[in-house]
Amino acid sequence: MIEFLNETVLWWHWIIFGIILLIIEMSLGTFFILGLGVAAIIVGILDAVMGVSFAVEITVWLVLSVLSITAWFKWFKEESITNSGQSNYSLDTIGTVIKEIQPHSRGKVAFDTPVLGNSSWHATSKIDIDKNTRVKIVQINGQLIEVEPI
């Protein structure tokens, strides 16, 4: 089987395969397949220049593909600001309690800067927080914000 592939898969097959992957990437826009396509084109150029065997070509393509995927997830993937449920808002926003918060019940907090487009939010807390106490966001769960005293 390897002998058959060594004879039939030529350098331009890799170039065409890489171009097809790049075309697929252009229609998807994920940048994930981009590395696979570029790796295939590099393998095609390597085969045209050096005339390596099919086993070496596959190995080089797999190694370059894994390296490009690893680089994508390590350096280019956008990281979220927080792990706060449905929100990507920064948790360092500070506010003032305007309606006392009892443990595991709702109160109200006015934030210094708007949080998700609103400066006044219903909030919960695991502890009792009096009115006019300065608080910071601990977690955002949909329409409800959990706070704690600073």
67-109 pLDDT per residue, tens:
998 988 888 766 655 544 444 455 678 899 999 999 878 999 9
Measured CA to CA, the distance from residue 10 to residue 4 in angstroms comes to: 11
| pLDDT the model gives residue 60 | 96
Q: For the chain, which residues score pLDDT lower than 50?
A: 83-88
Can you give the residue ranges of every domain in the chain? Answer: 2-76, 94-149
Measured CA to CA, the distance from residue 43 to residue 68 in angstroms comes to: 14
CATH architecture of 94-149: Beta Barrel (2.40)
| pLDDT the model gives residue 52 | 92
Cβ atoms of 43 and 17 closer than 8 Å: no
Distances, alpha carbon 87 to alpha carbons 60, 84, 92, 143, in Å: 41, 6, 13, 10
Dihedral angle, C-alpha 134, 137, 143, 144, nearest 10 °:
-70
| pLDDT the model gives residue 143 | 78
**pTM for the whole structure:** 0.52
